[in-house]
Structure 1
Amino acid sequence: MKIRDRIAEYCSSLGISMVGCAHVKRWESPLFEPWIPKQFYPHSIYPEAQTAIVIGLPIHLPSIETAPSIWYREEYKTVNALLDQYSWHLASFLNDLGYPSVSIPRDGYGDIKTLLVQPLAFFSHRHAAVLAGLGTFGRNNMVLTKKWGPRVRFGTVLTGAEMESDPLISSSLCTTCNACIRACPVFALSEDDYPESLTDKAACTNRSADLNKHFLSPCGICIKVCPVGEDRMLYDRTNIRMYEDKANYPGYHRGWDHVRSYGGLLEKPGGP
C-alpha cells in the first residue's frame, strides 16, 4: 500500500474526513501577491520536510450560530485540542514507518494579546490547507471548503516522506456575496479579494482580545454568516438572512440569545 493510502486509512480510523498533501515546493510558486515570506515555508522551519499533510475538523454550524458565546468558545477549544492530538498521532505514525515527521501546533502563539504585538504565527495552517487542495481563501480571511465553508479548523504535519501534491481547487469558492463584510462588528473587512480584504487586522484582533476578557472569544460572526458549505443544507440553514430576520425566525433567535446570556461576562447577548 502506498504511503498516501496508508495516511488516508489512518486518518479515517481517527475520524478525520478531510486530509490533503502539498509538496514543500508548492510554497515556492505564489498563488497571489503579497505571498508569505520564505522563512514561513515548511522546509525553512523543518529542513527535512518534503510534504505537508493537512487535516481538517469542522466546527458544527449550530454552535457557531450562537457566536460570540461560551458554546462556540468551548467547541473551538475542543477542535483545536483534537487537531493537536491527531496531528501528533499522525506524525508518530509516520515516524514509526521510518519517515521523520513532526506536528505543528494549531495555534502558534501564547495568547491573543501577543497578536496585538506580533500579528503572525510561525506557520500558516490556512495557506497549507489551500496548497493541499482543501479550500480557497474567502473575503473573510478564512479558508472556504466545499463541505463546511469556513467552519473548519486545520492542523499540519511536516514529513520527510515525499508525496505528490493533491490538486488545487481551480476556482474560488467565495461567492463574493459580502455577507461577512456587512456582518463584521468592527468593520475590519473590505470588498477586495484575499489577501487585500482584511483591511484592519488590529480591529479584528482587538475584538477577539476584548471578547477573551469576557470568556467569549473567538468572535466567529463572519464565519457563521458565510453561505458556502454543504453543512448549510444538512442543518437547513441555506437562507443566511435568518441571522437578521428575527420576525420570521423567532425560535432560532430566542435560542441564540439564551445561549449568549450565559457562561460569559457580557451583560447582553452579542452578535447579529
Structure 2
Amino acid sequence: MLADLLYVTFPASGVRTWIFLPPLTAFAVSFLASMGGLSGAFLLLPFQMSVLHYTAPSVSGTNQLFNVIAIPSGVWRYARERRMTWPLTAAVVVGTLPGVLIGAWARLEYLPDPRSFKLFAGLVLLGIGGKLLADLLTSKTVPQPRQADFVVTESRLSLRTGEFSFAGEKFSFSVPQIVLLAFAVGIVGGIYGIGGGAIITPFIVTFLHLPVHAVAGASLLGTFITSVAGVFIYQLLARFYPGMSVAPDWQLGILFGIGGFCGMYCGARCQKHLPVKAVKALLCFFLFAAACNYLL
C-alpha cells in the first residue's frame, strides 16, 4: 500500500515518520529563519526530540548534517547579491571551530541528557530576545534603503578591528570580542548541533548594532563551516563510543537538508524585500520560540 511506502523507518536512529514530513518542516523553518541569518537548526532539534522522539546523542550530528546540506544555497544567494561580510565571517569561524570541537566532546562525555544546560541556554536566548524586542519597540522607523544599496563594500580586517560599508554607512567591530563570543557559541553549537547562529546573530545585531541585512550571510557561512566540522567529529567519535548512538543518521539528515536547501535559498532571496523591523521581529519570534522549547 502507498501508506506503507510513505511511512518509513530510519534504521540508524529508529525514527518512524512520514517521508515527506522532514523536508516540509525543514523548508518552512529555513525559509523564515534564513532571513535573520539563522539556519533553523535550533528549532529542528526540539522537533526531532519531541515530535520524532529522536533523543539519542546522534541527533546533534544529524542536525548539523542538515546545516551542511541546507546552508550553501542561502550563502550562495547572499554572496551573489554582494551581501557577504567577509571580515565578520572570518572572525566567527576562527572562534567557533575550536568551540565546536570541545562541545561535541562534552556532549558525549558529560551531557548525554543535558537538561540543566538547556535551562541555561533557554535563559540566554530569552535575555537576548528581550533586549532585541526592547530595541525593536523603542527604535524609530528608518527609510528602507534602495535595493541597489544592499551591498557590502570596503571590507577590511586586522587582528583588532573589522570594518565594512553597507547601504552608505560604515560599520566596525572588535575582532577579539567576536572571536571570544564565537568560541562560547561554538561550544553550545557542538553540544546541541544547532550551529550557534541562533545566539550569535541576535547578539551581534542587538549589542554590536551591526545591520541585520549584512550580518545574515556571514552568520550562515560561519554556521556551515562549523557544522561540517561537527558532522566529521560526531562520525569520528562514534568509533570511541560503540555502545552509544553517536554518528549522524545520514538518511534522515539528507531529507531535512533537501527541504532546508530550498527554504534557505528562497529566504535569502526574499530578505532584502523586508524592512529591518520585520527581519528583527522574525529574529525575536525565533528566539522566544527556541527559549520556550528549551525552558519547558
What's the TM-score bracket when you normalise by the shorter of the two chains? under 0.3
TM-score normalised by L of structure 2: 0.21
More relative contact order, 1 or 2 (CA 8 Å, 6+ apart)? 2
Q: Please identify which structure carries the higher helix content.
A: 2
